[in-house]
């Protein structure tokens, strides 16, 4: 009786260990976040970015259409006139102030949709925790990607 | 009733007066016909072809422009059929061929008729594959207006406005066909004083406001109906705000006041409201320096010092200066504070008790106006005495031009300068400054003989008024005076307007006597009007900010008014007449020990006043900026501007209008004028019952009989006039004596002053886009005199009188008469008051 139980138990353990050994040979599904990056889908909507053209100019022209499209009032734009000698963006107008309040944003992507120059895009960064409420308001230096143009901007 | 014409539009019958355009007849039925070039306030030109509709005519149905064809009996109009629709699509397609479609960066985007009509009537697709034409994108046609020739649809509205209203054809069409563009002529910028109106009427984003450029989007601004803070015509405006800032100012229609036009200064000069130079907190002088203090400390300090000075030197050692730039409420409480708690009648404002004014103001601006579709103006002759509307009140100026050009009115001008309106060929009496009385007396005499009206009593009073005197004293040609007198005598409805320049100083009472005589003998006494220049010149007088008048233009010894006010205020009113503005400032440091200055800057007017103010025991200044006067003050109380608090202003035709609060500034500790005064009063022992400005206005309606019933709610968006008959003095002939003139060999030039729109005041100077058009420190000299003195433009010279000297630059001007020099008031760094001695007439010399 005792022996039979022993054999049965050993078999069960052997079965269970079999499952473990089977998965030991496969690649693990878990990821070492945050030490390793997590892949996201290409159309994932994360933290916003303001893009530049290849010549280094800002794409944003300060038209405020993103602000109008935003369902939660998370965007604030103030436009100004470009200095013809030292332009920020092509044309006469650029965004002097561009702010996004992440506490209000619902990451719907309507701003991307509304943008006539594809300046504002929702990127793939989703880790946006912060210690300070004020830090949830992103301003132009935090939004621009790349922050500094990689090339020298010349007026056309 | 005029003849009615009945026609059919889309099968609906409608009856409209003869001469109505098909467009307006359709609008009556609620049928919208798209338009670009047509404008309800401009002549039809039918150049954009957007309004083509099918009309029945003698040759069958054809496409005709609805904006230019008047209705005809039995006409059948079709605005909806396939032919009309495809034409509309085609027209829009043509208009859009070269339109850049840069709507995202266009200021018009969101309120653009081209956008709206493309969505409503457009084809919905583009057939264009070729590249678009390119023209100038950022083309300045003046310092404040930007023209984008690519966006222009060549509708001519701007050209027509400048032609029909300003009578200054400064814009024109150039080139042909698709190359057609609108531009300035010979590189001369648009300098019409109301030129900014072309921005409002542009149907696309071709003309944009350079001051407000890119500062707003139509869908995000808050709109507050308000009124103009600069001019006494009280032009109706709309203030557009966002994030506690004024983003733009546009015109608002009021057919009784400004049609829909506003002056450029009103439109563009608002930077001072958002300026970071504004005072943010109370300042109190400690150890010779102004340091920030709390409100409670500053107010208590003011109260303690006022009580102390009142105890030591008597109530009449304290004076108060109100302001024509502030609301009725502020001024009413200011004089109540001075009269009730200080116990003095020493309360006045600039151009207040020193100027011989009439309480009644203009009969009505609508009497001069000639709207596009409306009757001719009631007034047939306009006589301007010492008043230059082109500089002083630009909206009245366009009304006058229009009345002359289209309403058949005649213009007579008596002004020492050859002002802009003299180009209408009316008689121009270029009198020597200070000789108004002689000129008016002679004119009265000539009018008597021209109108064959002999009045023995009046003839006796005019003994010295000979044609010889007109030549010798006034230097006016007799022929011109005769023409003027004939026009006045023949006129049925003449309007006589005089400005502060003609009635200033000791001359004033004599001028008003002479004017009354003239107006009475020609039968125009009810239309004799004094016109103040600032936004609330009229209201300031109505509220009793005068040393000899109680609120409502009541005399100090008017028992009925005294009883009413004493009962309402619960106090006894002082009886002694107070000192006027000039007397207070002359006596400052002497008989006057303390001054409370609200919204005025006397130190910048005359250097000796600045010195006097420095000698005061206590100077309290309540203002928006650290003005020259505020820099001398012991206590500076920061106030709010007209846009940041509620208030009512009374314009030059006695129309009381609302200027509601349009924005708040969350950063400032400044308070509204009425609230500062209310807090001061409560520290002086009162318990005023006002919850807000509307409460103050409610009390005004009880205290001032002429304002009865004019509550905040009753005023509405268009304001209400009070009845002038209640305060019009009884007409009687009085003798007018010409004061002595003091020309001498040493001081040969007569000095002409006067106000200009683009001066050095804070309200104007803080708008940097307008710096180029502002007057610098100049002296205007006639070409003949410049030759004689051998000076050229911009030569620095010293102008001196027995009372002082001024460093200025020569500006040779055809407008200036030989023998006179012209220095406008409040120019930057050149206070013309330094040369004057209380009067506006003085003789000066010029040294290179």
Which CATH number does the domain housing residue B548 bear?
Answer: 3.40.50.740
Interface test with A, best of B104, B206, B221, B243 (most A CBs within 10 A): B104
CA distances from A103 to A143, B330, B470 (A): 15, 43, 80
Domain end (from B229, B247, B274) = B274
The confidence score (pLDDT) of residue B1 equals 52
* Cβ distance of B104 and A92 shorter than 8 Å: no
What residues contact residue B457 under an 8 Å CB cut-off, 6+ apart? B733
* Alpha-carbon gap, residue B687 to B459, rounded angstroms: 57
* Cβ distance of B104 and A116 shorter than 8 Å: yes
* Alpha-carbon gap, residue B826 to B841, rounded angstroms: 17
The confidence score (pLDDT) of residue A147 equals 79
The DSSP output letter for B342 is: I
pLDDT tens, position by position, B157-169? 999 999 999 999 9
Domain assignment present for B759: yes
Measure in Å the smallest separation between the Cα of A77 and chain B Cα atoms: 10
* Alpha-carbon gap, residue B115 to B764, rounded angstroms: 35
Q: Do B523 and B382 belong to one domain?
A: yes
Q: Do B389 and B322 belong to one domain?
A: no
CA distances from B601 to B121, B252, B350 (A): 56, 31, 9
**Among candidates B104, B213, B215 on the partner chain, residue whose Cβ is nearest the Cβ of A63:** B104
User: CB contact, 8 Å: A67 with chain B?
Assistant: yes
Tell me how far apart the terminal alpha carbons of chain B are, to the nearest angstrom: 68
* Alpha-carbon gap, residue A54 to A72, rounded angstroms: 32
Tell how many helices (H) and how many strands (E) occur in chain B.
Answer: 26, 36
Question: Which residues 113-132 in chain A show a CB within 8 A of chain B?
Answer: 116-117
The confidence score (pLDDT) of residue A155 equals 55
Task: Say whether B87 sits in a helix, a strand or coil.
Answer: helix
Q: How many Å separate Cα A24 from the centre of its chain?
A: 34
Q: Out of A114-123, B95-104, B429-438, B838-847, which region has the weakest mean confidence (pLDDT)? A: B838-847
* Cβ distance of A62 and B214 shorter than 8 Å: yes
pLDDT at A156 over 60: no
Question: Which residues of chain A have a CB within 8 Å of the CB of B109?
Answer: 63
Q: Do B266 and B292 belong to one domain?
A: no
pLDDT at A150 over 80: no
Q: Which chain B residue shows the shortest CA-CA distance from A67? A: B220
Measure in Å the smallest separation between the Cα of B106 and chain A Cα atoms: 8
Nearest to B328 by CA among B600, B776, B651: B651
* Cβ distance of A64 and B217 shorter than 8 Å: yes
Query: What is the average pLDDT value for chain A, to the nearest integer?
Result: 90
* Alpha-carbon gap, residue B735 to B738, rounded angstroms: 10
Q: Do B50 and B136 belong to one domain?
A: no
CA distances from B407 to B39, B199, B511 (A): 20, 26, 30
The most distant pair of C-alpha atoms in chain B lies apart, rounded to whole Å, by: 95
User: CB contact, 8 Å: A73 with chain B?
Assistant: no
Measure in Å the smallest separation between the Cα of B215 and chain A Cα atoms: 6
Going by their DSSP bridges, the two strands B720-721 and B796-801 should be labelled as: unpaired
pLDDT tens, position by position, B642-681? 999 999 999 999 999 999 999 998 889 999 999 999 999 9
pLDDT at B842 over 70: yes
Q: Give the CATH number, domain containing residue B66.
A: 3.10.20.740
User: CB contact, 8 Å: A92 with chain B?
Assistant: yes
The confidence score (pLDDT) of residue B447 equals 92
The confidence score (pLDDT) of residue B59 equals 85
Going by their DSSP bridges, the two strands B494-498 and B528-530 should be labelled as: parallel
ipTM: 0.85
Domain assignment present for B660: no
CA distances from B352 to B468, B550, B793 (A): 35, 13, 36
pLDDT tens, position by position, B383-419? 999 999 999 999 999 999 999 999 999 999 999 999 9
Task: Say whether B606 sits in a helix, a strand or coil.
Answer: coil
Domain end (from B501, B530, B559) = B530
* Cβ distance of A93 and B138 shorter than 8 Å: no
pLDDT tens, position by position, B774-819? 888 899 999 999 999 999 998 999 998 888 888 999 999 999 999 9
**Among candidates A67, A76, A91 on the partner chain, residue whose Cβ is nearest the Cβ of B105:** A91
CB B329 within 8 A of CB B703: no
* Alpha-carbon gap, residue B267 to B145, rounded angstroms: 11
* Alpha-carbon gap, residue B703 to B288, rounded angstroms: 42
- Of all residues in chain B, what percent carry a pLDDT higher than 70? 99
Q: Which chain A residue shows the shortest CA-CA distance from B139? A: A92
Q: How confident is the model at residue B321 (pLDDT cuts 50, 70, 90)?
A: very high
* Cβ distance of A63 and B220 shorter than 8 Å: no
Number of domains in chain B: 5
Mean pLDDT calculated for residue range B460-464:
84
**Among candidates A68, A78, A93 on the partner chain, residue whose Cβ is nearest the Cβ of B105:** A93
pLDDT tens, position by position, B64-85? 999 999 999 999 999 999 999 9
Angle at B672 between CA B668 and CA B677, to 5 degrees: 125
Measure in Å the smallest separation between the Cα of A74 and chain B Cα atoms: 14
Whose tokens are 């530049």? That residue is A52
Which positions in chain B have a beta carbon within 8 angstroms of at least one beta carbon in chain A? 102, 104-105, 109, 137-138, 213-215, 217, 219-220, 243
The confidence score (pLDDT) of residue B678 equals 95
CA distances from B614 to A148, B5, B593, B607, B634 (A): 55, 74, 11, 11, 10
Question: Which residues of chain B have a CB within 8 Å of the CB of A93?
Answer: 105, 214
**Number of C-alpha atoms within 13 angstroms, CB side, residue B312?**
12
Going by their DSSP bridges, the two strands B796-801 and B842-847 should be labelled as: antiparallel
Q: Do B600 and B551 belong to one domain?
A: yes
Nearest to B326 by CA among B344, B350, B302, B343: B350
Task: Say whether B321 sits in a helix, a strand or coil.
Answer: strand
pLDDT at B20 over 80: yes
Question: Which residues of chain B have a CB within 8 Å of the CB of A64?
Answer: 217, 220
* Alpha-carbon gap, residue B447 to B427, rounded angstroms: 14
Residue B421 has phi, psi (to 5 degrees) of -70, -10
Q: In what order do the strands lie in the sheet with B289-292?
A: B289-292, B283-286, B635-638, B618-623, B594-598, B318-321, B347-348
User: CB contact, 8 Å: A104 with chain B?
Assistant: no
Domain ranges of chain A: 38-153
pLDDT tens, position by position, B99-146? 998 999 999 999 999 999 999 998 888 888 889 999 998 899 999 999
Higher confidence at residue B337 or residue B760? Answer: B337
Question: Which residues of chain A have a CB within 8 Å of the CB of B102?
Answer: 91
* Alpha-carbon gap, residue B53 to B63, rounded angstroms: 5
What residues contact residue A13 under an 8 Å CB cut-off, 6+ apart? none
pLDDT tens, position by position, B625-640? 999 999 999 999 999 9
Tell me how far apart the terminal alpha carbons of chain A are, to the nearest angstrom: 94
* Alpha-carbon gap, residue A93 to A82, rounded angstroms: 5
Question: Which residues of chain A have a CB within 8 Å of the CB of B217?
Answer: 64, 67-68
Measure in Å the smallest separation between the Cα of A32 and chain B Cα atoms: 45
Q: Do B326 and B374 belong to one domain?
A: no
Query: What is the average pLDDT value for chain B, to the nearest integer?
Result: 92
The confidence score (pLDDT) of residue B838 equals 60
The confidence score (pLDDT) of residue B651 equals 94
Angle between helices B82-97 and B113-121 (to 10 degrees): 140
Question: Which residues of chain A have a CB within 8 Å of the CB of B248?
Answer: none
The confidence score (pLDDT) of residue B22 equals 94
* Alpha-carbon gap, residue B453 to B486, rounded angstroms: 12
Task: Say whether B289 sits in a helix, a strand or coil.
Answer: strand
The token pair at B414 is 């008596």
* Cβ distance of B105 and A81 shorter than 8 Å: no
CA distances from B131 to B97, B99, B178 (A): 9, 11, 13
Question: Which residues of chain A have a CB within 8 Å of the CB of B215?
Answer: 78-79
Q: Give the CATH number, domain containing residue B157.
A: 3.30.70.20
The confidence score (pLDDT) of residue B473 equals 86
Measure in Å the smallest separation between the Cα of B109 and chain A Cα atoms: 9
User: CB contact, 8 Å: A155 with chain B?
Assistant: no
User: CB contact, 8 Å: A140 with chain B?
Assistant: no
CB B268 within 8 A of CB B144: yes
Nearest to B237 by CA among B214, B222, B254, B255: B254
* Cβ distance of B105 and A65 shorter than 8 Å: no
* Cβ distance of A81 and B214 shorter than 8 Å: yes
* Number of neighbouring beta carbons within 10 Å of residue A62: 28
CA distances from A130 to A133, A135, A137, B546 (A): 7, 7, 11, 62
* Cβ distance of B217 and A80 shorter than 8 Å: no
pLDDT tens, position by position, A35-81? 988 888 989 999 999 999 988 899 999 999 999 999 999 999 999 99
Q: How confident is the model at residue B841 (pLDDT cuts 50, 70, 90)?
A: low
* Cβ distance of B138 and A92 shorter than 8 Å: yes
Q: Do B464 and B508 belong to one domain?
A: yes
List the beta strands (DSSP E) in B406-552.
410-414, 428-429, 494-498, 528-530, 549-550
* Alpha-carbon gap, residue B386 to B566, rounded angstroms: 39
Angle at A127 between CA A121 and CA A128, to 5 degrees: 80
* Alpha-carbon gap, residue B660 to B644, rounded angstroms: 8
Q: CB burial class (10 A; 0-12, 13-18, 19+) of residue B761?
A: buried
Nearest to B619 by CA among B589, B594, B643, B644: B594
Q: How confident is the model at residue B742 (pLDDT cuts 50, 70, 90)?
A: low
For the domain made up of A38-153, give the CATH fold: Alpha-Beta Plaits (3.30.70)
* Cβ distance of A61 and B217 shorter than 8 Å: no
Question: Which residues of chain B have a CB within 8 Å of the CB of A80?
Answer: 214
* Alpha-carbon gap, residue B295 to B671, rounded angstroms: 10
**Which is it for the CA torsion B115, B117, B123, B124, positive or negative?**
positive
What residues contact residue B167 under an 8 Å CB cut-off, 6+ apart? B401, B405
* Alpha-carbon gap, residue A109 to B259, rounded angstroms: 46
Q: How confident is the model at residue A24 (pLDDT cuts 50, 70, 90)?
A: confident
What residues contact residue A138 under an 8 Å CB cut-off, 6+ apart? A47, A48, A99, A100, A101, A102
Domain end (from B56, B80, B104) = B80
Q: CB burial class (10 A; 0-12, 13-18, 19+) of residue B94?
A: middle
* Alpha-carbon gap, residue B596 to B754, rounded angstroms: 27
What residues contact residue A45 under an 8 Å CB cut-off, 6+ apart? A107, A108, A109, A122
Q: How confident is the model at residue B837 (pLDDT cuts 50, 70, 90)?
A: low
Boundaries of domain holding B155: 126-274
Torsion (CA) B21, B24, B30, B36 in degrees, nearest 10: 100
Q: Do B134 and B241 belong to one domain?
A: yes
* Cβ distance of A62 and B137 shorter than 8 Å: no
Q: CB burial class (10 A; 0-12, 13-18, 19+) of residue B388?
A: buried
List the beta strands (DSSP E) in B449-511.
494-498
């Amino acid at each position: 009786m005792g022996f039979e139980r022993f054999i049965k138990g050993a078999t069960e353990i052997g079965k269970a260990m079999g499952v473990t050994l089977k998965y030991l040979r496969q690649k693990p599904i878990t990821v070492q976040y945050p030490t390793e990056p997590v892949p996201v889908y290409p159309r994932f909507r994360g933290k916003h970015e303001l893009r530049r053209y290849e010549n280094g100019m800002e794409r944003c022209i300060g038209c405020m259409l993103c602000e109008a499209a935003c369902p939660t009032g998370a965007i604030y734009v103030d436009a100004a006139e470009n200095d013809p000698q030292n332009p920020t963006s092509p044309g006469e107008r650029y965004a002097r102030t561009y702010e996004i309040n992440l506490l209000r944003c619902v990451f719907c992507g309507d701003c991307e949709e509304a943008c006539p120059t594809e300046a504002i895009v929702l990127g793939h960064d989703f880790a946006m925790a912060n210690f300070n409420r004020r830090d949830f308001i992103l301003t132009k230096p935090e939004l621009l990607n790349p922050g500094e143009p990689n090339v020298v901007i010349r007026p056309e | 009733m005029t003849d009615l014409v009945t026609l059919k539009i889309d099968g609906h019958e409608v009856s409209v007066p003869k001469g109505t355009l098909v467009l307006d007849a359709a609008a009556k039925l609620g049928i919208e016909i798209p338009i670009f070039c047509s404008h309800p306030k401009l002549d039809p030109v039918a150049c954009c072809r957007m309004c083509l509709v099918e009309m029945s005519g003698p040759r069958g149905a054809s496409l005709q422009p609805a904006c230019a064809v008047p209705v005809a009996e039995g006409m059948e109009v079709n605005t909806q059929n396939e032919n009309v629709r495809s034409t509309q699509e085609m027209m829009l397609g043509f208009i859009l061929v070269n339109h850049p479609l840069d709507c995202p960066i266009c200021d018009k985007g969101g309120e653009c008729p081209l956008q709206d009509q493309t969505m409503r009537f457009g084809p919905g697709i583009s057939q264009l594959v070729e590249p678009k034409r390119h023209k100038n994108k950022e083309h300045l046609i003046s310092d404040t207006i930007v023209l984008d020739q690519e966006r222009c649809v060549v509708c001519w509205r701007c050209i027509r406005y400048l032609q029909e209203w300003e009578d200054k054809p400064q814009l024109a069409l150039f080139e042909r066909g698709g190359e057609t563009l609108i531009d300035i002529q010979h590189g001369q910028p648009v300098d019409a004083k109301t030129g900014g109106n072309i921005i409002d009427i542009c149907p696309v984003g071709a003309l944009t406001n350079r001051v407000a450029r890119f500062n707003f989007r139509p869908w995000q601004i808050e709109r507050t109906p308000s009124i103009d803070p600069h001019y006494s015509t009280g032009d109706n405006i709309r203030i557009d705000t966002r994030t506690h800032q004024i983003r733009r100012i546009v015109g608002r229609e009021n057919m009784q006041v400004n049609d829909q036009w506003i002056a450029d200064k009103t439109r563009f000069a608002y930077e001072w409201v958002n300026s970071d130079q504004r005072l943010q907190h109370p300042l109190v002088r400690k150890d010779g320096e102004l340091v920030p203090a709390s409100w409670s400390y500053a107010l208590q300090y003011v109260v303690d010092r006022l009580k102390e000075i009142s105890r030591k030197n008597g109530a009449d050692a304290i004076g108060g200066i109100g302001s024509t730039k502030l609301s009725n409420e502020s001024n009413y409480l200011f004089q109540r504070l001075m009269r009730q708690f200080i116990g003095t009648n020493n309360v006045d404002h600039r151009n207040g008790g020193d100027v011989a004014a009439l309480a009644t103001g203009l009969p009505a601006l609508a009497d001069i106006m000639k709207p596009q579709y409306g009757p001719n103006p009631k007034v047939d002759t306009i006589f301007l005495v010492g008043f230059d509307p082109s500089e002083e009140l630009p909206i009245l100026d366009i009304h006058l031009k229009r009345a002359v050009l289209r309403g058949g009115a005649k213009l007579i001008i008596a002004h020492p300068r050859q002002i802009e309106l003299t180009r209408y060929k009316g008689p121009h009496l270029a009198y020597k400054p200070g000789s108004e009385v002689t000129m008016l007396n002679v004119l009265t005499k000539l009018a008597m003989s021209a109108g064959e009206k002999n009045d023995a009593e009046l003839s006796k009073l005019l003994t010295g008024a000979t044609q010889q005197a007109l030549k010798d004293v006034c230097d006016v040609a007799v022929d011109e005076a005769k023409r003027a007198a004939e026009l006045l005598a023949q006129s049925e409805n003449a309007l006589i307007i005089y400005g502060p320049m003609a009635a200033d100083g000791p001359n004033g009472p004599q001028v008003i006597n002479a004017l009354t005589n003239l107006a009475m003998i020609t039968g125009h006494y009810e239309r004799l009007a004094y016109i103040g220049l600032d936004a609330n010149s009229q209201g300031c007088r109505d509220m009793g900010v005068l040393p000899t008048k109680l609120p409502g233009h009541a005399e100090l010894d008017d028992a009925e008014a005294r009883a009413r006010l004493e009962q309402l205020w619960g106090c006894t009113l002082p009886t002694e007449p107070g000192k006027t503005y000039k007397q207070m400032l002359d006596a400052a440091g002497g008989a006057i020990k303390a001054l409370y200055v609200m919204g005025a800057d006397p130190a910048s007017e005359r250097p000796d006043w600045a010195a006097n103010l420095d000698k005061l025991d206590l100077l309290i200044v309540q203002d928006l900026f650290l003005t020259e006067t505020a820099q001398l003050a012991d206590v500076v109380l920061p106030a709010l501007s007209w846009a940041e608090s509620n208030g009512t202003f009374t314009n030059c035709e006695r129309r009381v209008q609302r200027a509601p609060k349009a924005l708040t500034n969350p950063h400032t500790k400044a308070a509204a004028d009425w609230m500062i005064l209310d807090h001061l009063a409560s520290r002086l022992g009162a318990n005023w019952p006002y919850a807000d400005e509307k409460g103050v206005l409610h009390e005004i309606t009880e205290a001032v009989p002429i304002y009865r019933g004019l509550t905040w709610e009753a005023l509405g968006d268009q304001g209400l006039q009070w009845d002038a008959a209640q305060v019009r003095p009884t007409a009687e002939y009085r003798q007018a004596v010409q004061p002595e003139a003091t020309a001498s060999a040493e001081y040969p030039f007569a000095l002409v002053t006067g106000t200009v729109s683009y001066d050095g005041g804070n309200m104007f100077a803080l708008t940097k886009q307008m710096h180029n058009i502002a007057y610098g420190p100049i002296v205007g000299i006639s070409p003949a005199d410049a030759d004689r003195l051998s000076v050229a433009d911009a030569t620095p010279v010293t102008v001196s009188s027995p009372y002082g000297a001024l460093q200025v630059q020569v500006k040779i001007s055809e407008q200036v008469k030989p023998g006179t020099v012209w220095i406008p008031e409040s120019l930057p760094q050149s206070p013309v008051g330094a040369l004057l001695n209380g009067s506006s007439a003085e003789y000066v010399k010029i040294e290179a």
